[in-house]
């Protein structure tokens, strides 16, 4: 993804690999252990990586790009 927000690397996490609980920045809801989700990492700022529900990330993309 490029543009105003820069390049972000989106990596899917399969349920078997989801071993920790995270907070989704899209909905402030929990991503539970064993729940598939996405890790979004700004290319030049890896410390800012965030774990997102797939649906929340899709909505964020629509919001960012006006679709």
User: Domain-by-domain residue ranges, the chain?
Assistant: 8-65
Mean pLDDT of the chain: 92
The mean pLDDT value for 42-56 works out to 95
Q: Which two tokens mark 43?
A: 């290319």
pLDDT of residue 57: 97
pTM to 2 decimal places: 0.86
Query: Of 28, 55, 27, 50, which is closest to residue 40 (Cα–Cα)?
Result: 50
Cβ atoms of residues 26 and 19 within 8 Å:
no
pLDDT tens for 12-28 read 999 999 999 999 999 99
The mean pLDDT value for 25-46 works out to 97
Q: Which two tokens mark 39?
A: 């890790």
């Amino acid at each position: 993804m490029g543009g105003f927000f820069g390049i972000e690397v989106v990596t899917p996490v399969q349920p078997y690999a989801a071993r920790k609980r995270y907070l989704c920045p899209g909905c402030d809801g929990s991503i539970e252990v064993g729940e598939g989700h996405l890790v979004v990492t700004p290319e030049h700022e890896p410390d800012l990586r965030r774990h997102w529900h797939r649906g929340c990330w899709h909505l964020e993309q629509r919001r960012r790009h006006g679709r």
